[in-house]
Amino acid sequence: MSAKRDYYEILGVTKSSTAEEIKKAYRKVAIQFHPDKNPDNKEAEEKFKEAAEAYEILSNSDKRAHYDRFGHARGNGGFSGHNMNMDDIFSQFGDIFGGGGGSPFDSFFGGSTRGGRRQRKGSNLRIKLKLTLEEIAHGVEKKIKVNRLIRAEGVTFKTCTTCQGTGQIRKVVNTMLGQMVSASTCSNCDGSGQIIDKRPSGVDSSGLVSKEEIISVKIPSGVADGMQLSMSGKGNEAPGGGTAGDLLILIEETEDKYLKRNGNDLVYDLYITFVDAAIGTNVEVPSVGGKVKIKIDPGTQSGKILRLRGKGLKDINGYETGDQLVYVNVWTPKKLTSEERAKLESLRGSSNFEPQPDSGEKGFFERMKEYFN
Ligand SMILES: [Zn+2]
């Protein structure tokens, strides 16, 4: 790298130029060599960086005095002027060009939004959303009412006086290895370089105002209780500028009257009479797709599990669909009239009523094993 050019020469000013003259001169050079205006032009970029560095030093009276005495030698001053990155450079603009999204500099380049000041992100909004099993099964579009913080109209900003619009506080720290420059985010402006100047009533200290909005949310099928969906950019807007936070939607599943959920499978407890269990019948069971007819075979044992393939919930990833399991319970009467009692009594001795479990009858443990597979 060639020897460093004189900072005054770079900006086309003299040692007796005022701070205002230096600012004006830098503005001119910066606009001339701005990367947006000179795409893929390395030379312009170098000139742009060089000018930024010169301005960084000459705009600060301490650094300027030091430079006047020692030139480019680093001396005891611990310049932070060298090796500025583009972010540092753009961060100066808040100071020089008035800052904010609507700075003259930005509009000069057609509203370029690049800037080195820290982009603030708005806070996230959290809401709970109750869904029925039916809604979960098919997916649903919900209109949600939220109170968002949005940037208020009529708020004006000014350059942060604590950090001079850079968004950073630079401090020279003495360490065993010599002096080092540490930079930390300005706490006054939270790194944005801008603070509120004027705000209308009802607007908070961040320049935000609460507004009720109806947001349409598409809930995919297969969500589950406790899942959190996130809609990016639908949270609170950022103070001053930057990107809005996210809207976080916590799913709450309301319990269904009939169907219990086990992952993507649904479980239904069916109760039948032992007459139906013995003779067989057709019954209707509820499912998320409407009522389903099922056949109860003659001789159906209590505890039998019927599997309705594909009648469960679609996996949220969309690859698989669960089943509906119908758990057959044979209802034993709790009260009997004397007539009923007499009829049953007459069957007591019948050999067909004697339990005769064979290998076809699955006991409780067998069924559980089957169920979990
Ligand atoms: Zn600040």
**Ligand 1 centroid to residue 79 C-alpha, Å:** 20
Span 304-359, pLDDT tens digits? 999 999 999 999 887 899 999 999 999 999 999 999 999 999 999 899 988 888 76
Is residue 294 within 8 Å of 308, Cβ to Cβ? yes
Distance in Å, CA 185 to ligand 1 centroid: 8
| Whether the Cβ atoms of residue 180 and residue 187 lie closer than 8 Å to each other | no
Distance 95 CA to ligand 1 centre (A): 11
10 Å CB burial of residue 55 (0-12, 13-18, 19+) is: buried
Tell which wins on pLDDT, 187 or 309: 309
Query: What are the DSSP calls for 55-67, one per residue?
Result: HHHHTSHHHHHHH
- Residue 155 confidence (pLDDT): 87
Q: What is residue 97's DSSP assignment?
A: S
Residues with CB under 5 A from ligand 1 (ion): 160, 162-163, 186, 188-189
Residue 192 contacts residue 166 (beta carbons within 8 Å): no
Alpha carbon of 150 to ligand 1 centroid (Å)? 22
Cα(93) to ligand 1 centroid in Å equals: 13
Q: What is the pLDDT of residue 47?
A: 86
Q: Compute the distance from residue 306 Cα to the ligand 1 centre, in Å.
A: 68
Cα-to-centroid distance, 77 and ligand 1 (Å): 23
- Residue 212: CB atoms within 10 Å: 8
Tell me the two tokens of residue 121. Answer: 């992100």
**What is the three-class DSSP state of 104?**
helix
CA of 182 to the centre of ligand 1 (A): 15
Structure pTM? 0.57
CA-nearest of 189, 167, 10 to 93 is 167
User: Band of the pLDDT at 92, cuts 50, 70, 90?
Assistant: low
Give the distance (Å) from ligand 1 centre to CA of residue 41. Answer: 32
